[in-house]
């Protein structure tokens, strides 16, 4: 059991486990942790903390935290860190076993941005002085990993094709991650677009099948993609996934259209088709890598689905009460 005395918010008494990824944002998160630790202590929230030791360790630490009785698990890092913590919180039936908290300290903080959680880690710590929890939709994908079928959950984005290749390429720009934002991803777009070859893919969207050559398929639960606002109307409260199917475009068309789609400023409906869906199946003659929340997790074939109102998340209490602003002020009504 947690060693700290519980503290109550509303009718709930919370014990928190903080999971820190010291390598987030090129190692900046680890250097900043002493400051964050002090700031978080001033909120009055009782917590213990542990450092992640490598990829996948966040899942194990999160599972262990739940088993030990913590009912709030706070991820300190970027989208990949948050994703690992979430996968430790979810059970095999898609149920959430503890609430998720986020302190943005990574290269990409799309998940925090989507949920209206301050991207400034100083303000993010203060959120735990006065917070409430809301339930949001979560995405689930079943894919192949080491010749076995695995299930992984995601909050923000998933997909195959060009977007995944860019993410794989951006991993090599580790030194640039300290800059944050979409810089490591943006650097990978042009060279990848010039060398990328479209893929033959079979897609089934809510039972509607199509088999063609595609540039990329994105299956989002929220607005953001690698720092870009690719799906301006998406929300994690509607029980639906937002799907972008980018067709058999040329390299020149990719360079002209993808940056506009990425930023949510424009898309050619003949080249990029948007859908709302509950289930998406993707298969291909060659096994293609799959990314979720900026991490490569497996290969096709893959089945994506949405689990409505499955994940409990800590957010700010004092957000404006407007449904039109649900993306930045989630759960307030």
Domain that residue 286 falls in: 140-308
CATH code assigned at 122:
3.40.50.10330
Residues 82 and 149 both lie in one domain: no
Q: Are residues 145 and 274 in the same domain?
A: yes
Q: Based on the domain organization, do 181 and 107 belong to the same domain?
A: no
**258, part of any domain:** yes
When divided into structural domains, the chain yields a total of 2
Mean pLDDT by 10-residue block, N- to C-terminus, for the chain (333 residues)?
48 89 86 94 96 95 97 95 97 94 85 89 89 96 94 96 69 44 54 82 96 94 88 95 94 82 84 95 94 93 97 80 41 35
User: HSE-up of 103 (CA within 13 Å, CB side)?
Assistant: 30
**Residue at 1 is within a domain:** no
Give the pLDDT of residue 265: 85
Q: Are residues 132 and 34 located together in one domain of the fold?
A: yes
Q: What is the pLDDT at residue 326?
A: 42
Both 221 and 269 in a single domain? yes
């Amino acid at each position: 059991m947690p060693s700290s005395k519980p503290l109550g918010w509303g009718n709930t008494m919370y014990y928190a486990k903080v999971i820190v990824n010291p390598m987030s944002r090129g190692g900046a998160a680890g250097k900043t942790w002493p400051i964050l630790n002090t700031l978080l202590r001033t909120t009055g929230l009782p917590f213990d903390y542990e450092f992640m030791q490598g990829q996948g360790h966040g899942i194990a630490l999160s599972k262990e935290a739940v088993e030990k009785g913590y009912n709030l698990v706070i991820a300190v890092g970027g989208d990949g860190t948050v994703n690992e913590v979430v996968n430790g919180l979810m059970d095999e039936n898609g149920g959430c076993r503890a609430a998720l908290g986020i302190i943005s300290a990574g290269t990409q903080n799309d998940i925090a941005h989507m949920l209206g959680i301050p991207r400034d880690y100083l303000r993010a710590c203060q959120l735990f002085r006065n917070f409430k929890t809301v339930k949001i939709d979560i995405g689930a994908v079943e894919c192949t990993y080491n010749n076995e079928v695995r299930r992984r959950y995601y909050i923000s984005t998933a997909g195959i094709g060009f977007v995944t290749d860019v993410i794989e390429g951006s991993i090599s720009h580790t030194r640039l991650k300290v800059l944050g934002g979409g810089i490591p991803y943006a650097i990978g777009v042009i060279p990848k677009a010039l060398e990328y070859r479209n893929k033959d893919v079979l897609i089934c969207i809510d039972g509607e099948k199509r088999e063609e050559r595609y540039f990329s398929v994105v299956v989002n639960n929220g607005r953001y993609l690698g720092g870009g606002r690719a799906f301006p109307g998406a929300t994690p409260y509607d029980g639906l996934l937002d799907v972008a199917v980018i067709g058999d475009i040329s390299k020149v068309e990719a360079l002209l259209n993808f940056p506009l789609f990425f930023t949510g400023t424009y898309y050619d409906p003949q080249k990029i088709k948007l859908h709302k869906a509950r289930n998406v199946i993707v298969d291909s003659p060659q096994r293609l890598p799959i990314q979720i929340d900026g991490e490569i997790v497996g290969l096709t074939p893959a089945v994506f689905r949405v689990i409505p109102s499955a994940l409990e998340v800590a957010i700010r209490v004092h957000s404006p009460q407007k449904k039109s602003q649900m993306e930045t002020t989630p759960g307030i009504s």
